[in-house]
Structure 1
Amino acid sequence: MAESSSNACESSSSSFSSSLQDTEEDRTIASILSEETYTEGGKLGKRLSHLDSIPHTPRVNGLIPDVDDATLDHERLLDRLSTYGLAELQIEGDGNCQFRALADQLFRNPDYHKHVRKQVVKQLKHHRNLYESYVPMNYKSYLKKMKRSGEWGDHLTLQAAADKYAAKICLLTSFRETCFIEIVPRDNSYSRELWLSFWSEVHYNSLYASGDVPSRRPRKKHWLF
């Protein structure tokens, strides 16, 4: 009984410690966000306001295109970037590119991708009723997979990110028939715009106006990472 009680106390202590760490993480990120106010998303929104977007349907990832199709898709995306005067901040292709691109748009630092992934998975877990119907597999298995660093984000994680961060996520894509996709929070209320390029089913980059792509310098990493 004493050992059981001790294990329960340890479990409770661990849970409490984890809760405190989550709170501290949120405070740290909030502090980073409060350092500067970014308006890049608004600039791009005005520039591309004439583009028609299609309704977004959350979904898991589809098949990766073969080399020939992927090459054509990339050329199409590059043409669109040139046409609309846009440029990409190149994001590392380590399986975390969606979360790195989101972290760059949110915090001006792709290295905060672990925090973004964690918050997106929390959103998916705590609001299961909103997302489960879009997942063609066991939902707990999907969450477990999505928690892993290097697991590719999908269109469902984009929807969860839009909901979590009250952001409209704007994708300039390489899809043949769909140039532009807007992902808005479910309550249609958002306070910021996040702009990504999407080489369809292959890679995400962070999007800026040509000439405005920042040079990323290493920033001090906080203990939470």
Structure 2
Amino acid sequence: MEDLQARHRREQRDLQSRVTQKKKQASKKTRKGVNDECEKLEAELHEKHAAEIAALDGEPDATTQTDVLSEPLEDLTLKVEGEDTPHRTNGSQPAQDDISESKPTPQAHDDGPPTAPQTKKPNKAKARLAKRALEQGQQARQAAEEAKSLPDLKSQERARMLEYMSERGLREKEIRADGHCLYAAVADQLEQLEIPLGSCSGEEGVPAYRAVRAAAAEYIEQHPDEFEPFLEEPLDGYLRKIRETGEWGGQLELMALAKAYGVEIDVLQDFGRVEKIGSAGGKEQAVWLGYYKHGFGLGEHYNSLRKAG
């Protein structure tokens, strides 16, 4: 149980990070849809955890209870109620068929009448939980079947992005999808432009993205009025996530990095849209990133876009 609870806490933290990232990147037009999606993800994770805890406690497994769950829930309820009181014959003694074979026949005692047999009541809550788990499994299979007929968004997005890169004379440097992709992509671009990453860059064993994370956190910390209105948590905790964890970066971090390094960050997106961050008359050197919405397992992802040739 302790291992399961530890995993649940990790999954909860991972989901919270995803939810925070999605909400940070949501616009006014997409905010409602993003909020609905986040609530759905949280509800699904809660139900998944509840089912796993129930299974560990010895509750029925939905995959092995097909005989019970094939009956309507109303039938299960009627059976439970019917088993609470043994059937009587002739209005007095319990019928022989109602007595469990595993129970010994009650013996008479000198000091009183025989003890009535005890019957174990089926757990209604367990039956409902198992039935719901089975229904969820059926819904998941149905969704998988429907997904087969949907267009391959990943392949389509990838093909369009390569086309737009070619039009702008860019080639892609793929960045590992590990939560640090935004910072690692910016680090690759800054190195191409021969711009120093910061005080901790070049230290033995310290990856380049750590220096970029530190630069983003330092700028936000020094200019809190520019960023605190957009945060959903205290500034100290937010900065700790940037410096010390694999928390995803987004619009706020790109803005901080553009100002910290004095560059313009151009983000190429699907359908050829380019978002310019930190532009001030075109005087800065340009950092090019490719943003994917569907291309990687973790969700949103950034790659570095170098000059072709």
Task: Judge same fold: TM > 0.5, yes or no.
Answer: yes
Deviation at 1:150, TM superposition (A): 1.9
Distance 1:158 1:134 in 2: 14
Size of the aligned set, in residue pairs, is 149
Which of 81, 98, 101 aligns to 2:185? It is 101
Report the counterpart of residue 259 of structure 2 in structure 1.
163
Deviations 1:150-194 (A, max 9, x none): 2211011000001101111111112x5x61111116x66853211
Q: What is the distance in 2 between the residues matched to 1:188 and 1:149?
A: 35
Choose the corresponding residue for 1:194, options 287, 290, 295: 287
Largest Rg, 1 or 2: 2
The answer to whether the 8 A contact 2:214-2:242 is kept is no
Aligned to 2:277: 183
- The question of whether the paired residues in 2 share the 8 Å contact of 1:96 and 1:152 is answered with yes
- Is 1:60 aligned to residue 153 of structure 2? no
Indicate conservation of the 8 Å contact 2:189/2:306, yes or no.
Answer: no
> Does 1:204 find its partner at 2:302?
yes
Question: Would you say the 8 A contact 1:100–1:112 is kept in 2?
Answer: yes
Find the partner of 1:143 among 227, 230, 239.
Answer: 239
Q: Distance in 2 between matches of 1:68 and 1:160?
A: 35
Runs of 5+ in structure 2 lacking a partner? 1-22, 27-33, 38-146, 198-206, 294-298
**Range with greater deviation from structure 2 (147-156 or 125-134):** 147-156
Whether the 8 Å CA contact 1:166–1:189 is kept in 2: the answer is no
SS at match of 2:249: coil
What code does the residue aligned with 1:78 have? Answer: L
Q: Which amino acid is 2:277 matched to? A: I
- Indicate the residue corresponding to 2:56 in structure 1: none
Deviates more, 1:111-120 or 1:156-165: 111-120
Q: Distance in 2 between matches of 1:129 and 1:142?
A: 14
Specify whether residues 188 and 129 from structure 1 end up closer, same or farther in structure 2 by C-alpha distance, changes over 3 A only: farther
- 2:24 and 2:241 map into 1 onto residues whose CA distance is 12
Q: Is the 8 A contact 1:166 1:190 kept in 2?
A: no
Indicate yes or no: 2:227 matched with 1:131.
yes
Give me the whole-angstrom Cα distance separating, in 1, the residues matched to 2:300 and 2:189. 19
1:112 is the counterpart of 2:208: yes
- Structure 1 residue 91 displacement after superposition: 1.2
Work out the CA distance in 2 between the residues paired with 1:188 and 1:82.
25
Measured at CA, do residues 189 and 207 of structure 1 come closer, stay the same or move farther in structure 2, by a change above 3 Å? closer
Distance 1:120 1:161 in 2: 5
TM-score (norm 2): 0.42
Q: 1:83 to 1:190 in 2, by over 3 A?
A: closer
Secondary structure of 1:60's counterpart equals helix
Change (3 A) 1:116 1:85: same
Q: Which runs of 5+ in 1 are unaligned?
A: 1-58, 212-225
Would the alpha carbon gap of residues 141 and 74 (structure 1) be closer, same or farther in structure 2, given more than 3 Å must change? farther
Q: Secondary structure at the match of 2:265?
A: strand
Work out the CA distance in 2 between the residues paired with 1:192 and 1:210.
Answer: 17
Q: Given the two structures, how large is their TM-score scaled by the length of structure 1? A: 0.57
SS of alignment partner, residue 276 of structure 2: strand
After TM superposition, give the deviation of residue 69 of structure 1 in Å.
Answer: 4.2
Q: Alpha-carbon deviations, 1:52-94, whole Å to 9, x = none?
A: xxxxxxx824569x99544543333223223333210111222
Identity score, percent? 29
Question: Which structure exhibits the higher relative contact order, with contacts defined as CA atoms closer than 8 Å and separated by 6 or more residues?
Answer: 1
RMSD: 3.0
Name the aligned partner's letter for residue 185 of structure 2: A
